[in-house]
């Protein structure tokens, strides 16, 4: 047991330091691609950290020979958005609270795009949950609509953010610390290298959780829906911690919302195409809690009460889900 706990800690540290390299490199990559600040978070960073998870879902639903393998893919498609909407935003709120000794952390942050992204997410998420409750012959083909939805979101994000990301306040690239403007090959190498470490460490982390879950008396379903999503979304959570610590709050929140859009579309599209996409009690619970968490955020925006301590309360919804899941299991 002790060895598994130590392995968990080692993987978490590896993910954190790899994310330090990734956020450093992805900003330079965004500058070289002449992308806007928000687009770097919602598109570039989100695709980078969500791609390994999407690949795992693809392998699970297309190459898995057992029903359990396909269940893992569907569970990932539902658990990922849940973890982001609750734990990731909750951790972000806590990190913002830790900055309260200075100026108000959200005073000069442009939050106009965030509620729009959450509305996009909620509409798509409601559709994917509804499809999990019904069965009809052409349902698998509707998975293609989710890929189209992400394509539309991608285009919208790239067009909406016209202010290009500046390199004035960027730290030197870790791979070339003495160069004011790093070489393109170094930026790409650090980006891909850090992503490779994140990918391997995240899946080792999940593997340790799958062993520890039964040791703690948790069923396979509870472990898959409760613990594994937190592990697979750990890179996005680490990115948010690092960027908020650096004062780049827009990037942190944009990375979470962008990752949520990917998780709501790409893994879902794969699951609908290649599995029956039929929800049981735990999956329905995950969907309901995720939607409640997003409605909570939208209410905060609507009433102009989007404050760090209220954002940190988002994590409580994951606790509610955990209690419900254990009761169902």
The three-state (H, E, C) secondary structure of 60-75, written as one string: HHHHCCCHHHHHHHHH
State the CB neighbour count (10 A cutoff) for residue 88: 30
More confident residue, 297 or 211: 297
**Global pTM value:** 0.88
**Which residues have a Cβ under 8 Å from the Cβ of 86 and sit 6 or more positions away?**
289, 290, 293, 314, 315, 316, 317, 318, 321
Q: How would you classify residue 229: left for phi > 0, otherwise alpha for psi between -120 and 50, otherwise beta?
A: alpha
Least confident of 94-103, 108-117, 124-133: 94-103
Q: Is the pLDDT of residue 33 over 70?
A: yes
CB 47 within 8 A of CB 257: no
Q: Is the pLDDT of residue 29 over 80?
A: yes
Most confident of 36-45, 201-210, 277-286: 277-286
Q: Is the pLDDT of residue 73 over 80?
A: no
Q: Is the pLDDT of residue 72 over 60?
A: yes
pLDDT above 70 coverage of the chain, percent: 86
- Name residue, tokens 């020979």: 65
Spatial CA neighbour of 202 closest among 3, 5, 8: 8
Mean pLDDT, residues 136-146 taken together: 93
At 325 the pLDDT is 85
How far does CA 58 lie from the centroid of its chain? 17
Band of residue 203 on the pLDDT scale cut at 50, 70, 90: confident
Mean pLDDT, residues 158-177 taken together: 74
Q: Is the pLDDT of residue 101 over 60?
A: no
Most confident of 60-74, 167-181, 209-223: 167-181
How far does CA 111 lie from the centroid of its chain? 18
Spatial CA neighbour of 265 closest among 52, 81, 75: 81
Mean pLDDT, residues 87-109 taken together: 80
Q: Is the pLDDT of residue 92 over 90?
A: yes
**DSSP assignment of 277-302, as one string?**
----HHHHHHHHHHHHHHHHHHHHHH
Q: For residue 14, give Cα distances in angstroms to 134, 192, 220.
A: 42, 15, 26
State the CB neighbour count (10 A cutoff) for residue 245: 12
At 167 the pLDDT is 58
Q: For residue 134, give Cα distances in angstroms to 52, 79, 91, 163.
A: 29, 20, 35, 44
Most confident of 77-81, 138-142, 179-183, 247-251: 138-142
Spatial CA neighbour of 125 closest among 300, 321, 279: 279
More confident residue, 4 or 77: 77
- What sign results for the dihedral spanned by CA atoms 265, 193, 228, 306? negative
- What is the token pair recorded at 82? 């849940």
CA distance 108 to 183: 32
At 304 the pLDDT is 87
Q: How would you classify residue 203: left for phi > 0, otherwise alpha for psi between -120 and 50, otherwise beta?
A: alpha
Q: For residue 81, give Cα distances in angstroms to 53, 188, 277.
A: 12, 28, 16
At 171 the pLDDT is 84
At 35 the pLDDT is 83
CA distance 43 to 198: 18
Question: Using alpha carbons only, what angle is made at residue 329 by residues 127 and 262, rounded to the nearest 5 degrees?
Answer: 30
């Amino acid at each position: 047991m002790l060895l598994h706990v130590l392995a968990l800690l080692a993987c978490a540290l590896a993910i954190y330091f790899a994310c330090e390299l990734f956020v450093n490199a992805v900003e330079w990559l965004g500058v070289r691609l002449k992308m806007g600040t928000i687009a770097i978070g919602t598109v570039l960073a989100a695709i980078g950290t969500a791609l390994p998870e999407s690949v795992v879902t693809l392998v699970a639903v297309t190459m898995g020979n057992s029903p359990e393998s396909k269940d893992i893919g569907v569970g990932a498609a539902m658990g990922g958005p849940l973890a982001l909407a609750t734990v990731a935003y909750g951790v972000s709120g806590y990190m913002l609270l830790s900055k309260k000794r200075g100026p108000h952390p959200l005073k000069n942050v442009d939050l106009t795009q965030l509620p729009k992204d959450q509305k996009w997410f909620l509409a798509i998420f409601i559709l994917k949950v509804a499809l999990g409750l019904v069965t009809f012959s052409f349902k698998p083909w509707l998975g293609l609509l989710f890929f189209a939805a992400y394509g539309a979101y991608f285009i919208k994000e790239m067009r909406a953010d016209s202010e290009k990301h500046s390199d004035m306040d960027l730290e030197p690239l870790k791979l070339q610390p003495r160069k004011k403007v790093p070489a393109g090959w170094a930026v790409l190498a650090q980006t891909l290298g850090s992503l490779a470490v994140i990918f391997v460490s995240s899946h080792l982390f999940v593997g340790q959780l799958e062993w520890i879950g039964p040791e703690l008396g948790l069923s396979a379903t509870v472990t898959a829906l409760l613990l594994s999503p937190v592990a697979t979304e750990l890179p996005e959570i680490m990115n948010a911690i690092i960027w908020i610590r650096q004062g780049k709050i827009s990037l942190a929140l944009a990375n979470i919302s962008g990752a949520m859009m990917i998780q709501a579309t790409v893994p879902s599209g794969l699951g609908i195409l290649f599995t029956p996409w039929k929800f049981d009690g735990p999956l329905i619970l995950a969907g309901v809690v995720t939607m409640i968490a997003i409605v909570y955020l939208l209410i905060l925006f609507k009433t102009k009460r989007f404050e760090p301590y209220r954002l940190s309360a988002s994590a409580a919804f994951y606790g509610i889900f955990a209690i419900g899941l254990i009761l169902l299991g």
